[in-house]
Amino acid sequence: MNTTHDPIRHIKYLRQSLSQDNEAIGFFLSAGCPLSVEMPEGEWPLIPDVANLTKYIHLELIDDQNYSKLIIELEKSGKNKDNIEDILSFLRGLVSVSKGGEVRGLREEDLDGLEKLICEKIALKINVDLPIAETPYHKLAKWIRSIDRKVAVEIFTTNYDLLMEQSLEEMEIPYFDGFVGANKPFFDLRALEDDLIPKHWSRLWKIHGSINWCQKIIGSQKRVYRTHPNTKESSHLIYPSHLKYEESRKMPYLALLDQLNRFIRKKSSFLVLSGYSFNDGHLNDVIVSALKSNPTAMVLGLMYGDFNHQGEEKYPEAYRLAKNQHNLNIWTNDAAIIGTNYGEWFYHESDDDKEILTFIKKVNSENHNPCNSNVNFGDFKNFTTFLQRIIGSTKD
């Protein structure tokens, strides 16, 4: 007999988990989330995904000889030239060994210049404003603002854009992103690690940096500041490469990874992943190791699309991890892995909760045996609509 999962039961559990005001609730937003923002015809997406952002960088730097040489060397090393994160990782690896000379035909100053140029091009492309119309980011912000919580909501993101900041500020929601100050806001590691933050402030942790961060060398020390994304005074500090920088304990990257680890280790913590495809092995290790150490925690991955794509598993790494970790659940459009058990969505006709039924799409069970329903929370737009609907609802 095939295992199935009842979508009504599990959506009720999700609603109940999100209604708690005294437990640690967090959201992890990744590259798929900006794609859910509706745009006028011909202007979508607001921000491109990694593949299309990489194509943009290729076109912008097509005449740059150093960039062409970098891509040739990248391919020689078996890396993916169609992923800007792989390109930056490879580039920064060369920077770290080029001091006082050259590597693979590129001098230290060539590599430094390339890194700065690529980051500037990325910042130019993704430094955009949210549409005035209500977006999924606004809906999430409204949900955060809807209740005076005893434990602040924490938002983790690997995105470098400023969309979450815009929505929080438009809703006049106070938040802390690790930086303090007015002239050149600096990263306050002590406030982060010792939790010296007002309880009514939400937390926004940008794990891979941001287009409005920069790094400066003052004397012999490297310091990180929050600045305007259009600044030309220093290189934008975005780092998808997971390199261990000098003075790494003082750098935001590892401090924010530690914060993700601490959050999941809190008693009864609940973290919802949206737009994340589990392609980052380092982040996966942090999430899974924290879950192993805290059986009361729960991480829910909301994945876009069906469980399989063209006859193959769409998110194989996510499925592998969830099948071995009881408190990591994965929901796709037509199936889920819950409590390490795979099953398609199947529910029996019921009138007990019409609100929840609006988020379940009936399908022809003859063609989808035994599946008879879809739960499309992997679309950030649908999930945040659900959040907006449950504002003010009582605890189950």
Q: What is the pLDDT of residues 152-163, one digit of tens each?
A: 999 999 999 999
Q: Are residues 75 and 144 in the same domain?
A: no
User: Of 102, 126, 150, which residue is a domain's last?
Assistant: 126
Q: Are residues 90 and 145 in the same domain?
A: no
- Interior angle at CA 265, CA 23 and CA 140, nearest 5: 45
Q: Are residues 100 and 147 in the same domain?
A: no
pLDDT at residue 246 in the model: 44
pLDDT at residue 149 in the model: 85
Q: Are residues 300 and 343 in the same domain?
A: yes
Q: Are residues 176 and 69 in the same domain?
A: no
Domain assignment present for 228: no
Q: Are residues 79 and 141 in the same domain?
A: no
pLDDT at residue 258 in the model: 93
Count of domains for the chain: 2
Q: Are residues 336 and 204 in the same domain?
A: yes
Domain assignment present for 323: yes
Q: Are residues 138 and 112 in the same domain?
A: no
The list of the chain residues with pLDDT below 50 reads: 242, 244-250, 394-396
Q: Are residues 19 and 84 in the same domain?
A: no
Domain assignment present for 219: no
**Cβ neighbours of 311 (radius 10 Å):** 5
Q: Are residues 269 and 198 in the same domain?
A: yes
Domain assignment present for 310: yes
DSSP secondary structure letter of residue 334: S
Domain assignment present for 71: yes
Residue from 324, 333, 327, 344 nearest 376 by CA: 333
**Cβ neighbours of 176 (radius 10 Å):** 19
Q: Are residues 122 and 136 in the same domain?
A: no
Please give the Cα distance from 5 to 347 (Å, whole number): 8
User: Of 89, 111, 126, which residue is a domain's last?
Assistant: 126
Domain assignment present for 361: yes
Sign of CA dihedral 355, 356, 361, 366: negative
Please give the Cα distance from 89 to 83 (Å, whole number): 10
**Cβ neighbours of 188 (radius 10 Å):** 17
**Cβ neighbours of 159 (radius 10 Å):** 23
Q: Given the DSSP bridges, would you call strands 335-338 and 341-345 parallel, antiparallel or unpaired?
A: antiparallel
Domain assignment present for 232: no
Q: Are residues 121 and 139 in the same domain?
A: no
User: Of 66, 93, 126, which residue is a domain's last?
Assistant: 126
The 10s digit of each residue's pLDDT in 78-88 is 888 998 888 98
Domain boundaries, position 117:
50-126
pLDDT at residue 155 in the model: 98
Domain assignment present for 214: no
